[in-house]
Structure 1
Amino acid sequence: MGLPATYNCIIIDDNEIDRLMSLAFAKKYPFLNVIGVYSSATEAFAAIEETSVDVLLSDIDMPEISGLDFRSQMMHIPVCIFITSYPDYAAESFEVEAFDFLVKPIKSERFEQSMNRLQHFFELKRKAQLFEYSLGGSTVFIKDGHEQIKLNLHDIVYLEALKDYTRIVTTTKKYSVLSSIGHLLLESAFQSFLRIHRSYAVQRHYIERITPQQVYIQNYSLPVGRSYKDVLINLK
């Protein structure tokens, strides 16, 4: 079993108690990585300009910029869950593709229901991406010793540099090819791979969790090189 994926989450609410309550609920779910808690949409705009956000938990009725207006400008965030004291906003919230609409005060059972739906949504999204990728039928021929072997690119989990060779690790077997990892990554067939270390490149679609020091992919834990950390920060 792989480790669960995590998703970057921000919380916006102009009421301090409600803000802390949302944070307390969110912290109960390990797949939510709360990267910011803000008292206004204006504050959030400035803070997340160059940050990848997967989940937005936002109040609606806020001064200056409402939660609805913020969402309309941040439609690239995959999931928006509104948390508000005003049920009348429900129709408007779904016009900006709200994933869910929670009415304050938040009940633990209702928040759990939303989180279960959220986890299921991301799992389906990941499987759909894998399926779409596999439909491309991309294959590559490699020379392993004296044999020419045809590999489905979808089955390759990661690449490992070994001096002049590269180890290709698939879901079932390992191969070694007489080519540098840098050379392989220049080929169009390997554009779905992400370099995370001088010695490692991983298949993006298999990534399950990222920490500052490690990338977890399938049953493997691979190190993150210092010069590659910035690339991973913005990875969704």
Structure 2
Amino acid sequence: MKLNCIVIDDEFPARELLTDFIKKVPNLELLDRFDSPLKALAVLQSNKVDLMFIDIQMPEISGIDFLKTLRHKPMVVITSAYQEYALEGYSLDVMDYLLKPFSFDRFMQSVNKAFDRVADKETVVVQPEVVTVQAAEPAKDYLLVKADYKIHRIKFNNIICIEGMREYVTYFCDKEKYVALESLRSLEGLLPEKDFIRVHKSYIINIDKITTFYGNQIKLAGLDKYIPIGKSYKDIVQKRIMEQ
């Protein structure tokens, strides 16, 4: 799998750094680099661009405003020295936000996230004339989590709750805690709905771990703090708890 990418940044040193990082990754192909978003339009319109690294503050048009003009965006990684633009960037469904100056390791986290996203979209085409009946596979009872440069196999029943922190999440488990590059939104589709529920914009909890439900707070077994319940989630949470 090879990803075609472009770099857009008005600062020459930043373009040089990203070019050097990209060349170190065998499965990344740098199509071109630009000092202005407007100069990149032709390449975006005439080539298959999988991944775009783009700065925010640029003279002619900001990276944010440029992204708003694109009808079909590639995967986007924002590279900026200004953290305050992160929230607006994620509202445009950017894949990651690299805060300058960033290391090669942090760059690789973004790249690996891009490869993972492409792999998730790959589908197997089944020929219509071939019908094969197979026994249903048992449902997975675990997640594979990349943290601390390792892949951890975490069983669902060991997860107490998951806290979202910008582009990262923290898994609070019975005996360990893991911080990984992920979003709560994507995890909602991976966790079994009967066992987990989102109770706040920043928290997903394991329903079986609930010990106390008090007002707008929940106490979970194995966790030394209360979890807040968001106003928009309260009715759904209360109903689910009463049904258990």
Bin the TM-score by the shorter chain. Answer: 0.5 to 0.7
Distance (Å, rounded) in 2 between the aligned partners of 1:9 and 1:34? 5
> Does structure 1 residue 65 correspond to structure 2 residue 64?
no
Name the counterpart of 1:113: 109
Aligned length: 132
Of residues 61, 77, 84, the one that matches 1:81 is 77
How many Å apart are 1:151 and its aligned residue? 8.3
Counterparts of residues 112-191 of structure 1 (less than 5 Å): 112-126=108-122, 129-130=123-124, 133-134=125-126, 138-139=128-129
Name the counterpart of 1:29: 25
SS in 2 for 1:80: strand
Name the counterpart of 2:152: none
> Does structure 1 residue 96 correspond to structure 2 residue 86?
no
Name the counterpart of 1:8: 4
Q: Normalising by structure 2, report the TM-score.
A: 0.51
Distance (Å, rounded) in 2 between the aligned partners of 1:63 and 1:125? 36
SS in 2 for 1:122: helix
SS in 1 for 2:101: coil
- Listed as ranges, the gaps of 5+ residues in structure 1 are 140-149, 153-236
How many Å apart are 1:69 and its aligned residue? 1.6
Distance (Å, rounded) in 1 between the aligned partners of 2:105 and 2:71? 27
How many Å apart are 1:80 and its aligned residue? 0.2
Distance (Å, rounded) in 2 between the aligned partners of 1:77 and 1:46? 14
Q: Where does structure 1 differ by over 2 angstroms across 4 or more consecutive aligned residues? A: 46-49
How many Å apart are 1:30 and its aligned residue? 1.6
Q: Normalising by structure 1, report the TM-score.
A: 0.52
Alignment identity in percent?
Answer: 33
Distance (Å, rounded) in 1 between the aligned partners of 2:118 and 2:71? 17
How many Å apart are 1:125 and its aligned residue? 1.3
